[in-house]
Amino acid sequence: MTNEETVVCVTGASGFVGSRVVADLLEQGYRVRGTVRQPSNLEKYGFLMELPGAEERLTLHRGELLEKGCFDEALQGCAYCIHTASPYVLDVDDPQTDLVDPAVQGTENVLQCALDAGVEKVVVTSSMAAITDEPESERVLTEDDWNEKSSLDRNPYYFSKTEAERAAWRFDEENDEISVVVINPFLIIGPSLTPSLNTSNELFVDLLGGEYPGVLNLTWGMVDVRDVSKAHIRAMESDEASGRYICVDHTIAMEEVVELLNEEGYGEDYKLPSLNMACAAGDYAVRLLSYFQPSGTGSYLRTHVGKTPRFDSSKSREELDLNYMPVRDSIVDTLEDLKKWGHLEG
Catalytic residue among 44, 68, 161, 271: 161
Strand, coil or helix: 80: strand
Cβ contact 8:82 at 8 Å: yes
Sheet holding 187-189, edge to edge: 187-189, 219-224, 250-253
Please tell me the distance from the alpha carbon of residue 63 to that of residue 59, in angstroms, as a whole number. 13
Please tell me the distance from the alpha carbon of residue 275 to that of residue 323, in angstroms, as a whole number. 35
Cβ contact 260:328 at 8 Å: yes
Please tell me the distance from the alpha carbon of residue 137 to that of residue 288, in angstroms, as a whole number. 21
339 is catalytic: no
Cβ contact 42:6 at 8 Å: no
b/e per residue 6-23 (b: at least 16 CB within 10 A): bbbbbbbbbbbbbbbbbb
Q: Is 184 exposed, middle or buried (0-12, 13-18, 19+ CB in 10 A)?
A: buried
Query: Minimal CA–CA distance to 224: which of 271, 198, 273, 190?
Result: 190
For residue 105, the tally of other CB atoms under 10 A from its CB is 16
Catalytic residues: 161
